[in-house]
Amino acid sequence: MRVYLDNAATTPLDPEVLKEMYKVMESQFGNPSSIHAHGREARTVIEKARRTVAQLLHTSPAEIFFTSGGTEADNMAIRCGITGYGLKHAITSLIEHHAVVHTLEALEKAGQIKLSFVNVDAQGHIDYQHLEELLANNERSFVSIMHANNEIGTLNDIERIGELCEQYNAIYHCDTVQTVGHFPHDLSKLKIHFMVCAAHKLHGPKGVGFLHINHRVKIDPMIYGGAQERNMRGGTENVYGIVGLAKALELAYEHMDEHHQYIQGLKSYMADSLKAQIPGIHFNGDTDPEKSLYTVLNVSFPEMEMADMLLFNLDIAGISASGGSACSSGTNIGSHVLNAIGANPNRPAVRFSFSKYNTKEEIDYVVGKIKEICLVNA
């Protein structure tokens, strides 16, 4: 049996998405910047997709800019937001995705900003009081704090963060790569200046995403070279990818409650099975379903011989997952997220992440194989 439990890294392409993309591949091959009929057809397809995305997120199509994915969108929001507003201070957390942390650290190294890190607790929640102190005690800030952590699944209260940012006139960028398509977002109410999406996290194609830029925000492009995306992102649009993104998001919203309930059931079932069969395991992140991403379960296993071979042994058994323990005395890089929340560096950690395509039979197989591996290496 082969089991895929690494859906936080990427998801399988939905057949309905592929079908929609294939229709466009067959006929709408024109350059959407061309003014002839073939170009106009491609342009129409893009703008229809933009309207679909905007309607689902309760925003204007003029606020949706298609990109090559989440990393580009994060970089554009951070670099252009900070430069465009002449900001000299930024706030983030140590458990953000590297697309955020590394970008901000590069700007600090270049002398463009002073970077502050808001405290996080042992479950990965940010300290809202500390965030307010950082906002109050520094000049106008750029804040980049994610909705859900991609490694441990902990959710932040982005409504509360948005309110604080508005109170202190800060610019708020929210990395929503793990939650777009899994949770509803009403951008007419959220006080967010930038948010991002990567289609391949919700059963869409790789190489495409979008950046939402609130209409009140005025920035220059990061990529120059053409008038595409209303002069905000040079380069010929990925027409097929954009169509796939819109279809994937449409399907995600259509079945969101159903998928949420089903996948949460798989996560809970696996957690209960692991607790029953493997003594001494620990779950990283918040275990409250209301405060955690229902697609992610991060597990620290008991100390064992050849702990660094756990993922390899799972792979040999046909199980795809990801992970990495906290670093131990600088001997390895480890997970920056597990380091930040104080996870035990001597315990191997694995992130299992689920999708609508997983089954309880697969979970039973995975738990059985893990039990075998733990017994052999105890």
Residues belonging to the active site: 327
User: Which residues, in sequence order, are bridge partners of residue 67?
Assistant: 209
Q: Which tokens sit at 85?
A: 């507003």
The CA distance from 193 to 275, in Å, is 41
State whether residue 204 is helix, strand or coil.
coil
Per-residue CA distances from 146 to 94, 113, 166, 248 (Å)? 11, 20, 17, 22
How many residues are present in the chain?
A: 378
Q: How far apart are CA 83 and CA 110, in angstroms?
A: 13
Q: Are 118 and 92 in contact (CB under 8 A)?
A: yes
Per-residue CA distances from 75 to 145, 208, 222, 233 (Å):
14, 14, 8, 12
Q: Which residues pair with 299 in a beta bridge?
A: 283, 350
